[in-house]
Amino acid sequence: MQARDLPLLAVFAAVIRHGSFTAAAKALDLSKSLVSENIRQLEERCGVRLIERSTRKLRLTQVGEQVLGTATAISEAARSLDTILEEHRNAPVGTLRIATTHDLGSLLVAPVAARLALLHPQMTVDIVSDDLSQDLIASRIDVAVRLGVPRESGNVVRPLALIPEPIVAAPALAASYSGVSRPRELAGAPWARHSLLSRSDSLTFRGPKGETDTVPLTLRAQSNTGEGVRALLLSGVGIGVLPEYMVIEELRRGALVRLCPGWIWKQVTLYAELPSAKRKPRRSQLFLQALIETISATGAEGRAGTIGWKRWTKLTDNS
């Protein structure tokens, strides 16, 4: 017996369960002749007779009774596997493992994943925050959420949105530049920035009509994380730029103020990365749907005086 012979055991179990070749063929949606041939092949593989046949009934041989126990166990295991797979296809069960950056993890990914976990108690959440990209398959990641330009990796990439980086400052500092309408008028103002921009001594901004302004930077402070930059901006040490998702709440409650409304430094791509193009577990599908809904709602609330988040694509259950 080899692994390829396992379907023969399933047919054997069906014949005994239904009491005849004809009934088993109907239940399995096979021809009676094919069922009979399957039993013949199984007995040939086993080297013994499993069923004594008569015109009126079937009777198991002694070894057939023992083989039936194994065949039944295999059939039950297959049905159990079907149930497990069906649950994963149609219900969010198991562990949703998400890779993301530190900033996205705390501000966007974790709140969305937490809401999903509260709705579906059979699902657990494991968020891996790391600014370095990971091997999704080796790390058993269901979905990664990142900003920027996806690297060549062989993974499936789903762009989610274009997120602008507006010019913002704390209210007291912003009041000193209340009459400014274009970024070039901010020359000489103090700036706080991400240290990844340390090679640049100026920033070029794009306006609502496509026009551009380049501003030389007078650097007062910098940080190597987005959250660090946000803390510096909130302290009032300088003017700066950050992806809008990082400052949307502060803008809403007035802790930060937009300068030069309609102007942005750039737009960054928010994207999801998946290890396979094949059908995703239901937990991954629901997470992506919830993430898109959150992005759309945040963008709608943040459009006043800014370009707003641009929805790139809609992910459906089958995407």
Has this prediction a pTM greater than 0.85? no
- Mean pLDDT per block of 10 residues along the chain (319 residues) reads 78 87 87 91 89 81 88 77 62 85 89 92 89 77 87 80 92 94 94 84 92 94 92 97 90 95 91 77 87 74 37 37
With 0-12 CB in 10 A as exposed, 13-18 as middle and 19+ as buried, what is 151? exposed
At 115, the amino acid letter reads R
Domain covering 3-88, topology: Arc Repressor Mutant, subunit A (1.10.10)
Q: With respect to CATH, is domain 94-161+269-296 assigned 3.30.2080.10?
A: no
d(CA 233, CA 286): 35
Where exactly does CATH 1.10.10.10 map onto the chain?
3-88
**The predicted structure's pLDDT at residue 4:** 76
d(CA 265, CA 168): 11
**The predicted structure's pLDDT at residue 126:** 94
- CATH placement of domain 163-267: 3.40.190.290
Where exactly does CATH 3.40.190.10 map onto the chain?
94-161+269-296
Where exactly does CATH 3.40.190.290 map onto the chain?
163-267
Q: Which whole-number Å values give the CA distances from 2 to 9, 42, 146, 229, 317, in the listed order?
A: 11, 11, 46, 62, 38
**The predicted structure's pLDDT at residue 138:** 73
Nearest to 95 by CA among 125, 127, 66, 71: 125
**The predicted structure's pLDDT at residue 317:** 36
Q: How many CB atoms lie within 10 A of CB 148?
A: 10
- Helices and strands (DSSP H and E) totals, the chain: 10, 13
Long-range pairs for 13-16: beta carbons < 8 A, 24 or more residues apart: 13/68, 13/71, 13/72, 13/74, 13/75, 14/75, 15/39, 15/51, 15/58, 16/51, 16/58, 16/60, 16/68
